[in-house]
Amino acid sequence: MSKKKIGILTGGGDCPGLNAVIRGVTKCAINEHGMEVIGFHDGFLGLIEKRFSLLSFESVSGILTQGGTILGSDNKANPFEFTVTECNEPVKVDVSEQCMELYEDLGLDALICVGGDGTMTIAGLLAEKGAKIVGLPKTIDKDIEGTDITFGFDSARAIATEALDRVHTTAQSHHRVLLVEIMGRNAGWLTLESGIAGGADVILIPEIPYDIKEITSMIRKRSHFGRRFSIIAVAEGALPAGGKQTIKRIVEDSPDPVRLGGVSHVIADQLEKETGIECRVAILGHVQRGGSPSPSDRLLGTQLAVKAMDLVATGQFNHMAALNGTQMVAVPLKDVAGRQRLVPLDSPLIRTALSVGTSFGAKLNA
């Protein structure tokens, strides 16, 4: 009898822990299930362009501690709306049938799709076409439905927290307001958690639109009590009440074309005018997605990889492996696709921050 064969791809923006997952899936598939593993290069682009390679124990050895993904990633290629050039014009075509043909030709028994909400949505559509899919939740944003945590988040939270720690001393020396802009798209998890861990005086997240007067009042209050500096953790998706998010760029051929960024400069200008206190901005950007994964992300990535292989082995397809409390669970892809998990306003984390006197730039009660 021929060996069973699975494929794996990493889609969307990268994050620390992807290599831990690739290693975990490959080692578990070979070691425990005697399966072959094919890695597609650059996410769904590798499936579209037929670029892949066989993964072995040797090829995944030593990658646990490495950031990024040895398979490469892509956050544009969508087999259902793939951009090609026709008569010098970009047009979107559906190449999903071609992907399904490759899936069949390779004799895949399952395809493991590692990614965020965009990847899960595409994976769900491929599942409808007959592919046997298992999803794995990755993103520094922690905004995937159906799981308490995503790998990549813990590493990014540590980086953002360290940045907040570091700006404290310089803000204090120069009696300035330091704004640290943190990624997370439309979700405030990364800013909220690193903001609390890094002792930010003000935390601005997309789920709680800010009022600039509330922020100035906090800064003035601190000055009044002799605290002549303030630290503000700003989510890239933060927005003023009644206003809009700050868009940095539009990536036309991306399934989610909006890239946020720069709101902290807008806030800094307003604060300087209102308070007369010098402000400085640090936008962390892709630093948050780089470097070696934290021990938690290595552990979570490996646990999720083994859970994904359990789902493959037991034939529980079209599900995403997820963490619910301390339990590894399987969540139907249809409950994940096209959704975003935002910070609920009754989150205990918001209450925690309010209780220690942190402002959200809005009138909220602990």
Q: Indicate the DSSP class of residue 12.
A: S
Helix (H, G, I), strand (E, B) or coil at 186: coil
Site membership for ligand F6P, residue 222 (CB under 6 A): no
Residue 337 Cβ vs ligand F6P, minimum distance, rounded to whole Å:
16
State the catalytic residues. Answer: 141
Q: Which of 47, 55, 111, 183 binds ligand F6P (CB under 6 A)?
A: 183
Q: For residue 310, what is the enclosing H or E element?
A: helix 295-313
In this structure, are residues 268 and 282 in contact, taking their beta carbons and an 8 Å threshold?
no
Q: Which amino acid is at 203?
A: I
Among 32-40, 125-133, 179-187, 225-233, the segment contacting ligand F6P (CB under 6 A): 179-187
Written as six digits, the tokens of 142 are 């922690």
Q: Which of 24, 124, 137, 184 binds ligand F6P (CB under 6 A)?
A: 184
Site membership for ligand F6P, residue 96 (CB under 6 A): no
Q: Which of 36, 42, 74, 141 binds ligand F6P (CB under 6 A)?
A: 141
In this structure, are residues 122 and 94 in contact, taking their beta carbons and an 8 Å threshold?
no
Among 66-74, 134-142, 161-169, 312-320, the segment contacting ligand F6P (CB under 6 A): 134-142
Site size for ligand F6P (CB under 6 A):
13
Interface mask toward ligand F6P for 106-125; x: CB under 6 A: ----------x---------
Helix (H, G, I), strand (E, B) or coil at 210: strand
Residue 185 Cβ vs ligand F6P, minimum distance, rounded to whole Å:
4
Backbone angles phi, psi at 164, to 5 degrees: -65, -40
Written as six digits, the tokens of 168 are 């404290």
Q: Which amino acid is at 304?
A: L
Q: Which residue number, 140 or 238, has a Cβ lying nearer to ligand F6P?
A: 140
Sign of the Cα pseudo-torsion (169, 173, 179, 181, in order):
negative
Residue 243 Cβ vs ligand F6P, minimum distance, rounded to whole Å:
19
Residue 139 Cβ vs ligand F6P, minimum distance, rounded to whole Å:
5
Burial 145-181 (b: 16+ CB within 10 A, else e): bbbebbbbbbbbbbbbbebbeebeeebeeeebbbbbb
Residue nearest to ligand F6P (CB): 183
Closest of 6, 175, 12 to residue 107, by C-alpha: 6
Backbone angles phi, psi at 184, to 5 degrees: 140, 0
Residue 148 Cβ vs ligand F6P, minimum distance, rounded to whole Å:
18
Q: Which of 3, 175, 259, 273 binds ligand F6P (CB under 6 A)?
A: 259
Q: Which of 132, 142, 185, 341 binds ligand F6P (CB under 6 A)?
A: 185
Q: How far apart are CA 130 and CA 120, in angstroms?
A: 15
Among 18-26, 42-50, 94-102, 137-145, the segment contacting ligand F6P (CB under 6 A): 137-145
Residue 132 Cβ vs ligand F6P, minimum distance, rounded to whole Å:
26
Residue 106 neighbours by CB distance under 10 Å: 17
Interface mask toward ligand F6P for 42-81; x: CB under 6 A: ---------------------------------x------
Closest of 93, 80, 75 to residue 122, by C-alpha: 80
Task: Give the strand pairing for 279-283 and 177-182.
Answer: parallel
Helix (H, G, I), strand (E, B) or coil at 18: helix
Interface mask toward ligand F6P for 315-344; x: CB under 6 A: ------------------------------
What residues line the site for ligand F6P (CB under 6 A)?
13, 75, 116, 139-141, 183-185, 236, 259-260, 289
